[in-house]
């Protein structure tokens, strides 16, 4: 069987997770890695036994033997790189957020459609065991009608540096970095409803940079559920780790991280259910990224469109765009 040749675009922190996941699959060959600084690409290539290290995407674009790319660069490069690779017949995996804004997302989608190529977006919490337990419980009707959720994407006493804090490279701050995890996770739990309204308060409280580090977003979905999303860096406290969510229903409550159910039992009592789930080595565990890569490779082989893909990535971008617009205009934005 012909191996699927993959190139990694970016050699930073998250690329290690992708590389480790891809290396679990014998049908995959990591054939190239690209970094702005050649030394970083060479170091990464040596670490994972990758033959080619480049400082430009051009050799990858021009190589017809490369089937797909994993793009893990600053956000400003997501759309231009993805479009270039798609035009040259390669499937694309994009780290979140899919692009700097929904306009760029539409450009990616148009080229992907024209060239009949696949695009997957790195909303990796959809591949987490705890997340799936909560989703299955909601889908089974255990909570009754879900009317409210709370979700968190916050770093406590910590925040990133470098390109993450530069608007021209990241597009936004904590909302674009952490809030997107909370948004997509809760949307997945709710069965991927469509957003109809967004209201947000966004601020910069902790750093001398031109992006946000504090945000409160309220999303109204087309199923009537209201979702509160909090994003932030450097906050003195967080109510839960990345993608932590609370789901409130007429018959019970579900918590993701820590993961448990609290179900009504009669009029004045409730029963708490704590599932037995696999032990986590770290919160953002390697297994999530490995499953994500396995799914992407399966999509390449079967030619099925990935979920999360263009649509899921675009919905998150539309919400983020609306949140920034809402905060600026101090009004509700209708989608």
Beta bridge mates, 203:
214
Are 69 and 130 in a shared domain? Answer: no
Are 116 and 229 in a shared domain? Answer: no
Say what the pTM is. Answer: 0.97
Are 178 and 327 in a shared domain? Answer: yes
Residue 247 in this model has a pLDDT that exceeds 80: yes
Are 36 and 154 in a shared domain? Answer: no
Distance separating alpha carbons of residues 176 and 5, to the nearest angstrom: 30
User: The domain spanning residue 160 has which CATH number?
Assistant: 3.30.360.10
Of 226, 56, 91, the closest CA to residue 149 belongs to 226
Interval 157-206: pLDDT, tens = 999 999 999 999 999 999 999 999 999 999 999 999 999 999 999 999 99
Q: Which two tokens stand for residue 136?
A: 């299955």
Are 146 and 197 in a shared domain? Answer: yes
Are 220 and 255 in a shared domain? Answer: yes
Residue 217 in this model has a pLDDT that exceeds 80: yes
CB 182 within 8 A of CB 245: yes
CB-based contacts of 12-18 (< 8 A; 24+ apart in sequence): 12/72, 14/72, 14/95, 15/44, 15/70, 15/72, 17/284, 17/286, 17/289, 18/70, 18/72, 18/93, 18/289, 18/293
- CA atoms within a 13 Å half-sphere pointing along the CA-CB vector of 90: 28
Residue 267 in this model has a pLDDT that exceeds 90: no
Are 151 and 165 in a shared domain? Answer: yes
Residue 266 in this model has a pLDDT that exceeds 90: no
Percent of the chain with pLDDT over 90: 98
Residue 12 in this model has a pLDDT that exceeds 80: yes
Confidence of residue 239 (pLDDT cuts 50, 70, 90): very high
User: How many domains are contained in the chain?
Assistant: 2
Are 241 and 132 in a shared domain? Answer: yes
For 74-157, strand residue ranges (E) read 91-94, 119-121, 146-156
Are 190 and 323 in a shared domain? Answer: yes
Are 22 and 61 in a shared domain? Answer: yes
Of 105, 95, 114, the closest CA to residue 11 belongs to 95
Cα–Cα distances in angstroms (integers) from residue 309 to residues 14, 163, 191, 200, in the given order:
19, 25, 15, 25
User: The domain spanning residue 106 has which CATH number?
Assistant: 3.40.50.720
For the residues 229-233, what does the mean pLDDT come to?
98
Are 140 and 202 in a shared domain? Answer: yes
Distance separating alpha carbons of residues 199 and 228, to the nearest angstrom: 10
Are 151 and 188 in a shared domain? Answer: yes
- Segments forming the whole domain that contains residue 55: 4-123+287-307
Interval 89-124: pLDDT, tens = 999 999 999 999 999 999 999 999 999 999 999 999
Helices 78-87 and 102-115, axial angle in degrees (round to 10): 10
């Amino acid at each position: 069987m012909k191996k699927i040749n993959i190139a990694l675009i970016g050699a930073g922190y998250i690329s290690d997770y992708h590389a480790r996941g891809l290396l679990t699959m014998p049908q995959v060959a990591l054939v190239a890695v690209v970094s702005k600084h050649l030394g970083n690409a060479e170091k990464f290539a040596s670490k994972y036994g990758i033959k080619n290290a480049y400082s430009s995407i051009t050799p990858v674009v021009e190589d017809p033997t490369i089937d797909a790319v994993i793009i893990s660069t600053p956000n400003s490069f997501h759309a231009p790189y993805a479009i270039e690779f798609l035009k040259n017949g390669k499937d694309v995996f994009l780290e979140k957020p899919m692009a700097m804004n929904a306009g760029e997302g539409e450009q990616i989608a148009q080229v992907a459609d024209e060239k009949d190529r696949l695009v997957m977006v790195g909303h990796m919490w959809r591949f987490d065991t705890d997340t799936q337990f909560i989703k299955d419980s909601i889908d089974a009707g255990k909570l009754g009608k879900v009317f409210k959720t709370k979700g968190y994407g916050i770093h406590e006493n910590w925040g990133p540096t470098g390109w993450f804090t530069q608007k021209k490279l990241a597009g936004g701050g904590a909302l674009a970095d952490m809030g997107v995890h909370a948004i997509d996770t809760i949307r997945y739990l709710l069965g991927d409803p469509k957003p109809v309204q967004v209201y947000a308060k966004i601020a910069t409280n902790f750093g001398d940079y031109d992006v946000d580090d504090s945000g409160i977003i309220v999303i109204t979905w087309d199923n009537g559920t209201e979702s509160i999303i909090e994003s932030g860096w450097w906050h003195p406290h967080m109510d839960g780790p990345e993608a932590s969510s609370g789901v409130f229903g007429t018959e019970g409550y579900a918590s993701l991280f820590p993961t448990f159910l609290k179900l009504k039992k009669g009029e004045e009592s409730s029963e708490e259910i704590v599932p037995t789930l696999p032990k986590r080595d770290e919160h953002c565990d390697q297994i999530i990224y490995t499953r994500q890569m396995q799914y992407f490779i399966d999509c390449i082989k079967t030619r099925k469109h990935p979920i999360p893909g263009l649509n899921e990535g675009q919905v998150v971008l539309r919400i983020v765009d609306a949140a920034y617009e809402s905060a600026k205009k101090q009004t509700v934005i209708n989608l």
